[in-house]
Amino acid sequence: MVTGGAANAGCVRAPSTPDRVAFVGRESEVFRLGAAWGAAVRGRPGLVLIAGEAGIGKTRVAAETVRLAGDTGGTVLSARCQEAERSLLLQPFVEAIGHHAAHLAPDLLRRLAGQRAATLAALVPRVASVLGPVLAAPTSRTLRRRLADEAATGFLCALAEHQPVLLLLDDLHNAGSATVRLLRELTRGAGTRLLVVATVRTAEGDAVLESLADVATRLDLGPLPPAAVTRLVTEAGWAELAGDIRDRTRGHPLFVVETLLDLAAGGTGVPASLEAAVLARLRRVGENTEQVLRAAAVLGVTVDPATLARLVDLPLQQSAGHCEVALSAGLLMPADDGYEFAHDVVREVLYATTPAPIRVVHHARAVELLDHRPEAMAAHAAAVEDWPRAARGWLLAGEEAARHVAVADAQALLAQAVAAAHRAGEVDLAALAEARLREIQDDG
């Protein structure tokens, strides 16, 4: 028997908005998400894209659907689409399925995987760790890609036969083309009790939003209504500042929350900007923790404590201690095997306000530390204009994507490798990347 409700919501990221700040002003959006969940429970699968700018409350609104699904006996799976994971086939599906599979009995997992157990085990390492070695027959690239799609969709559909399933994907604008393609397939499973809810940042996600426009319901978030801001401010005990906060924040949810947190921590007035509010909170954790967080911001949204410790040249325990201080201050939040920034905007403010020479030092060090992750390494190399290493990283990442049958993502990575090699003046490297790109294009 598959269990649902709160027990299955454990891997869902907590909303970045503090629990003590009320959730108001999004009644119509929550109603539409509730209707989509109700339809999924009745066997009408759906895909809802929550779109908006950074800090507008996408994850917080999505969390209401998680709460609803848990309260009504649904099974919740979730994952974040990572910035540098195009070389990993179906990365968010692998992460979401892996989290859930790790808590299932082997017999149940084997039944859910069905005839595609071997393919699913090859795709999702945590499935393999539960089932043990499962032999798969060698197949062509095209067939492997199709089998991988079928294994992921088959598992989710089988799971939905036991209980309705909510799949939450954060930051879909970072997803590879293979993930976007599979989302289209999931919406076609008539009778499947599955709802996919994804958050998309509009500035970076236009291509994703356009590609899914014909199969998805788009839910655009704007600023909070003035009445909602007034209620938040009043309930926080600052009614006399409601007008000033409304005018200064213009209803931007994260700015409102940061302002209330600043006031609660002893701030003397309404911060002049969201950046000022974030920096005010940063100053309270102390200079040493601030320096560690600024280094973490260079690494990305997700923070691996071991990598961060090496980046700032501190013992792991000491580096983790700084992360715990930041966690207590609400700047970081727990994530699998580490931490992640409580909000993308927090990370972006830290990165933008870190002096360029210090960022360069951190990027250069990250190139050395992330040699085992060529796609991420290439991005850091490009940030310091180390084009030869960027080209080699993107070439390796492109070849890895090709091995995982993520053909479109492989082509994009190899095109980046070609461009970087030309900028580096590495003629032979450019020719190698171009030849590999042509080979994949011909095969695909």
**187 lies in the same domain as 247:** no
Sheet containing 332-335: which strands, arranged edge to edge?
302-303, 338-341, 332-335
When pLDDT is averaged across residues 332-361 and rounded to a whole number, the result is 91
How does residue 3 score in pLDDT terms, banded at 50, 70 and 90? very low
Residue bearing the bigger pLDDT, 119 or 89: 119
Taking CA atoms, 106 is separated from 4, 129, 155, 303, in Å, by 18, 10, 14, 31
287, part of any domain: no
* 107 shares its domain with 234: no
Q: Are residues 171 and 260 in the same domain?
A: no
- The predicted-structure confidence for 148-182, as pLDDT tens digits, reads as follows 888 999 999 999 998 999 999 999 999 988 899 89
Domain of 95, CATH number, reads 3.40.50.300
Q: Are residues 116 and 258 in the same domain?
A: no
Q: How far apart are CA 116 and CA 155, in angstroms?
A: 9
Percent of the chain exceeding pLDDT 90 equals 59
Residue 237 inside a domain? The answer is yes
Residue 171 and residue 43 share a domain: yes
Asked if residue 243 belongs to a domain, the reply is: yes
The two structure tokens encoding residue 244:
């000033």
**pLDDT tens per residue across span 403-438:** 877 888 899 999 999 999 999 999 999 999 999 999
With vertex at residue 273, the alpha carbon angle to CA 271 and CA 274, rounded to the nearest 5 degrees, is 100
Q: Which of 180, 198, 220 is the last residue of a domain?
A: 220
Burial of 132 (0-12, 13-18, 19+ CB in 10 A): exposed
Phi, psi (rounded to 5 degrees) for 43: 90, 20
List the domain range (segments joined by +) for residue 444: 373-444
Q: How far apart are the first and last CA of the chain?
A: 41
What is the pLDDT, as a whole number, of residue 395?
96
Q: Is residue 200, in this structure, part of any structural domain at all?
A: yes
| Closest to 35 (Cα-Cα) out of 5, 70, 65 | 65
Tell me what the mean pLDDT of segment 312-333 comes to.
Answer: 93
pLDDT at 168: 96
Domain boundary among 270, 296, 331: 270
* Within a domain: 187: yes
Residues 244 and 124 in one domain: no
Flag whether 293 is in a domain: no
Q: Are residues 132 and 249 in the same domain?
A: no
- Both 82 and 203 in one domain: the answer is yes
Q: State how far the Cα of 257 lies from the Cα of 434, in Å rounded to an integer.
A: 49
Token look-up 């095109």 returns 415
> Is the separation of the CB atoms in 203 and 59 below 8 Å?
no
Q: 16 and 133: one domain?
A: yes
My answer on whether 197 and 266 are in the same domain is no
How do residues 273-311 score in pLDDT, each as one tens digit?
888 888 988 988 999 999 999 999 999 888 889 999 999
**Based on the domain organization, do 121 and 191 belong to the same domain?**
yes
Same domain, 60 and 131: yes
Give 89's pLDDT tier (boundaries 50, 70, 90).
Answer: confident
Chosen domain end from 270, 300, 335: 270
- Give the β-pairing of 332-335 and 338-341: antiparallel
Which helix H or strand E contains 48, and what residues bound it? strand 46-52
Work out how many domains the chain is built from and give that number.
3
Is 278 part of any domain? no
User: Dihedrals φ, ψ of 360, to 5°?
Assistant: -60, -45
pLDDT in tens, 189-200: 778 899 999 999
Global pTM value: 0.82
The predicted structure's pLDDT at residue 138: 58
Element at 320 (helix H, strand E): helix 316-328
Residue type present at position 372: H
List, for residues 26-85, the tens digit of each pLDDT value: 999 999 999 999 999 999 999 999 999 988 999 999 999 999 999 999 999 999 998 877
The verdict on residue 164 lying in a domain is yes
